[in-house]
Amino acid sequence: MTVSVDALPAPINIDWSRTALLIIDMQRDFLEPGGFGETLGNNVSLLAAAVGPCRAVLDAARAKGILVVHTREGHKTDLSDAPPAKLDRGDPALRIGAPGPMGRILVRGEPGHDIIPALAPLPLEPVIDKPGKGAFFATDLDHVLRNRGIEFLLVCGVTTEVCVHTTVREANDRGYRCIVVGDACASYFPEFHAVGLRMIAAQGGIFGWVSDSAKVTAAMA
């Protein structure tokens, strides 16, 4: 059975049994002071706005039995999965792998790599560790979704124009119907967030649909 969800560029009929909630990179490294986001010169407090809406969609998805998949951007401890082009940027003391207040920056297993406590995964929820911006690059996300018969992706997380956008573009090319939950995403650059959402829904939904947490949770109720 499908339900209509109010969205741009037009409402979309969603089958919840073929839907996954994909929460992108809601990690301490991006949202808390002292992590990767701050080392790049960003005001990390700008991402806090997405936490409440993300939590609302997460609670509704769990209550409805919808598959929840979390992603984390980060690298192996030996950094062998990090291309030099990604490592060689910025002040060497603040680069990926350097020690910081939440452990080595953007390295798996360090406190900064963890998902923030408010959105912590439950034991059976898949967590996809990804070395890149897109969640399909060098991961088994496509297998995880296809094995569950997933066709629709509700997408939340950070940052809108970087890892959310890259993942939505990858998913769109693989045939998934992406509904980006706009207020459950955030950016260090509010103007990029706004334009990033517009880009998804423009041209008849060139990359997917854009809705918000109130509309999505109402449709799930």
List contacts with ligand C5J (CB under 6 A). 25, 30, 73, 133, 158-159, 162-163
Min separation Cβ 115 and ligand C5J, Å? 12
167-171's contacts with Cβ under 8 Å and 24+ in sequence apart are 167/22, 167/24, 167/71, 167/133, 167/134, 167/135, 167/136, 168/200, 168/207, 168/208, 169/134, 169/207, 170/134, 170/135, 170/136, 170/137, 171/136, 171/208
Min separation Cβ 141 and ligand C5J, Å? 14
The residue (of 19 and 187) whose beta carbon lies closer to ligand C5J is 187
Catalytic one of 54, 156, 163, 185: 163
Min separation Cβ 46 and ligand C5J, Å? 12
Tokens 């409440």, located at residue: 52
Catalytic one of 25, 29, 183, 212: 25
Min separation Cβ 160 and ligand C5J, Å? 8
The residue (of 119 and 163) whose beta carbon lies closer to ligand C5J is 163
Residue 109, both tokens: 């297993």
Most distant pair of Cα atoms in the chain: their distance: 54
**3-state class of 84 per DSSP?**
helix
Active site residue 178: no
Q: Which of 115, 111, 170, 110 shows the shortest CA–CA distance to 139?
A: 170
The residue (of 158 and 197) whose beta carbon lies closer to ligand C5J is 158
The residue (of 154 and 220) whose beta carbon lies closer to ligand C5J is 154
Active site residue 156: no
Active site residue 130: yes
Catalytic one of 129, 130, 133, 212: 130
167: left (phi over 0), alpha (psi -120 to 50) or beta: alpha
Question: What positions carry a catalytic annotation?
Answer: 25, 130, 163
